[in-house]
Structure 1
Amino acid sequence: MSTDRTTDFLRELLVRQLTTWLPAALHRSRRATIALAWSGDDAGGAAAALRVVAGHADQVRGRRVTVLVLADGAADLPTRLGPVEAELPAEVTVHLLPGVPDRLPVAVKAAGAAGSPLFCFVDLPGAVTPKLLTAAANGRTGEVLLHAGSAARDALVAAGFPLVAEVAPVLPNGTAAGVIGFGSRSDRSLEAVRDALWAVGADLDVGLSDPADPAGAPVDVAGDPDPEPLARELLAELRHGGPRPVTELRRHTLTATVYRAADATRALTGLLDAGDVRREREAGRLAGDEIITSTR
């Protein structure tokens, strides 16, 4: 599962999502915790995450940010991360901890993360444990981005995340690269991580497939996708569940498919043009609260 391209993919995805999460976390709280856990050693990923924190120095000042880096077999990590740590504001505390990702619950508790925003990134080769995800949920304040060897949707839901999504990256040679899982309570974060997956996938020529449909062809993310598969999915959802607001259909797109929220808008427009669905208003932009109804 681990290849240089997979490592690059995960590293860039981490940077993009942390860039979205950190300003929002510091806006609503005076303290925040970032926990990074690898089964192995990715000093480059840890350094990239610390650079994101350093890049938000103005927002960090007057607040408290704790960064936990948990890596297995990385005895020289302090030396390798030292130059990046030197760039951090005084309000940032970094703890470098040896051990496997399963030790993350203990590390998060020791850091006093309870009650404040927590972002966890976890990379492990096998299945994720319920205990780890419960710690990442952090009551109602956690968000987790994980890379695992198998699907994690059920475990994320069981841990208490109301918004859960997962996709399977597919390398250019057709090799599966594990599963990317995401759990949050923020629609904004959910939309951001999906946009990041597509942007990074396009840059690195990595496709995305649905872990629940291993026989399905991966979606080419380097351009505008064919709207038909998503249109069929949304139409089936409307026929099954009845009329839905646009916001819920966009959320369904993000949690149940590999597509983006913007793709949902295009798919709905196609369904409207074909007469398969109808909207409340006769014209204008599709608003989030507008109800869409299947016509057949």
Structure 2
Amino acid sequence: MSFSSIATVKRELLVRHLEAWAPAALHRARRVTYAHGYADADGGAAAEAAMRVLAEQSDLVRGRELIMVATGDDPGLLAPRLTAIADGSGAGAGLAVHTISGGTDERLAVGLKAVGAQRVPVLGFLDAAGSTPPEPATVAALTAGKPAELLLVLPPGAPADPYRAGWPLFTQIELADSDEPGELLVYATTAGKSLEGFKEALWAVDEFAGVRYRDPGDPERHLIDISLTPHPGPLRRELLAHLAANGEATVTELRTFALTETVYRAADATRVLHTLIDGGTVTRRPSHGRLGGDVVISV
């Protein structure tokens, strides 16, 4: 597995998501918190990339608080670099970074409480791909945010289900470049629009050195090229399996299923449904007219 290429994909995805999240969060609230766990695990490259995005919000930060909490074994070594980026942004005291040593499991929840991250917009990024996966309680601490979002990376083969508690919307993607299990990227949120935005960013990142996605729910474990129009094969199989298990479903239900239970977007489900209907693989009720959300699809 090309760890450097996968690290690049993760970093670009983080940057793209932060670029959308930070302005929206600052418009919503006067205090916003970004939590970066395992900040020193990659030499601080992801943490620095995140801080540069936050520093770009200088015009929006005035009169507000944008706080970065960086935890890890010894992220204090990163403190001068992160502080220099913040100080050079022109945001003044509105942009602050707090580095806390002692381990992410031990310190993240404490750090969030210390900066008043309760009932304010919170985004957490925890890349534990090269470490012991975090305790579920550590991830659950982020749900104190309102709204709350999570990007969590787990080592190959690690289960994601222990981290679902407290997250009404939860999806997972495997990052791989071979038939071997890849790193598992989990995205969780308390806001539906945020999930749609994440999926758009997911398919918009550049492809690096053969890194591809795999849908954990695809029984054939098909590798999917990163593209704005991804290969529909795995989604086709999962939609048909879902219909076989449930008998029938509305277009809205199938779009929601694709968004929350697969690596795909809701719009991808609509495109696949048109193909399945045209090919006679599924039927629709009513049989004619626009493929609206209340149209019922059955095998």
SS of alignment partner, residue 59 of structure 2: helix
Are 2:217 and 2:238, in contact at CA under 8 Å, matched by a contact in 1?
no
Distance in 2 between residues matched to 1:62 and 1:245, nearest whole Å: 46
Distance 1:265 1:226 in 2: 14
TM-superposed CA distance for 1:109, in Å, is 1.3
Are the equivalent residues in 2 in contact too, given 1:153–1:164 (CA < 8 A)? Answer: no
Name the CA shift for 1:264/1:214 in 2 (closer, same or farther; >3 Å).
Answer: closer
Cα separation, 2, equivalents of 1:143 and 1:198: 18
Unaligned 5+ segments in structure 1 are none
Counterpart position of 1:268: 273
Displacement of 1:161 in angstroms is 0.3
Deviation of 1:221 after TM superposition, in Å, equals 2.4
Paired with 2:202 and 2:238, the residues of 1 have a C-alpha distance of: 20
SS at match of 1:194: helix
The residue number in structure 2 matching 1:283 is 289
Superposition RMSD on alpha carbons, in Å?
A: 2.6
Task: Tell whether 2:140 aligns with 1:134.
Answer: yes
Shift of residue 63 of structure 1? 1.7
TM-score by length of 1: 0.87
Amino acid at match of 1:162: P
Structure-2 change in CA distance of 1:73 and 1:18 (3 Å)? same
In the alignment, the residues of structure 2 paired with residue 66 and residue 122 of structure 1 have an alpha-carbon distance, to the nearest angstrom, of 16
Query: In 1, distance between residues paired with 2:83 and 2:226?
Result: 37
What secondary structure is seen at the aligned counterpart in 2 of 1:202? Answer: coil
Matches within 5 A, 1:206-285: 206-211=211-216, 216-222=221-227, 224-275=229-280, 276-280=282-286, 282-284=288-290
Q: Tell me which residue corresponds to 2:124.
A: 120
Pairwise CA distance, 1:53: 1.5
Amino acid at match of 1:194: K
Between the aligned partners of 1:166 and 1:65, the Cα distance in structure 2 is 28
Quote the Cα distance in structure 2 between the aligned partners of 1:218 and 1:202. 13
Residue 41 of structure 2 corresponds to which residue in structure 1?
Answer: 40
Deviation at 1:122, TM superposition (A): 0.3
Aligned in 2, Cα 1:240/1:71: closer, same or farther, shift over 3 Å? same
Match for residue 65 of structure 1?
Answer: 66
Partners of 2:211 and 2:204 lie apart in 1 by 10
- Pairwise CA distance, 1:234: 1.6
Q: Cα 1:197–1:81, aligned 2, differ >3 Å: closer, same or farther?
A: same
Indicate the larger mover: 25-34 or 109-118: 25-34
Q: Distance in 1 between matches of 2:123 and 2:79?
A: 21
Query: Normalising to structure 2: TM-score of the pair?
Result: 0.86
Distance 2:233 2:79 in 1: 50
Indicate if the aligned counterparts of 1:245 and 1:291 stay in contact, CA closer than 8 A.
Answer: yes
1:130-151: CA deviation from partner (whole Å, max 9, x where unpaired): 1111101116532110111144
Question: 1:93-242 residue pairs with structure 2 within 5 A?
Answer: 93-102=96-105, 103-124=107-128, 125-138=131-144, 141-149=147-155, 150-158=157-165, 160-171=166-177, 174=179, 176-200=181-205, 202-211=207-216, 216-222=221-227, 224-242=229-247
TM-superposed CA distance for 1:218, in Å, is 1.6
Q: Is this contact kept in 1: 2:169–2:189, CA < 8 A? A: yes
| Cα drift, residue 249 of structure 1 | 1.7
How many residue pairs are counted as aligned between the two chains?
Answer: 291
The secondary structure found in structure 2 opposite 1:67 is strand
Q: For the Cα contact (< 8 Å) 2:121–2:145, is it kept in 1? A: no
* Per-residue CA distance 1:203-250 (angstroms, 9 max, x = gap): 553111133568623222246344343223223323433543433322
The aligned amino acid for 2:35 is A
| Distance across 1 between alignment mates of 2:259 and 2:240 | 15
Question: Given residue 107 of structure 1, which amino acid in structure 2 is its aligned partner?
Answer: G
Distance in 1 between residues matched to 2:229 and 2:236, nearest whole Å: 14
- Hey, what's the Cα distance between the residues in 2 that align with 1:139 and 1:16? 21
- The equivalent residue for 2:11 is 11
Q: Which amino acid in structure 1 is aligned with residue 258 of structure 2?
A: T
Distance in 2, matches of 1:139 and 1:189, equals 14
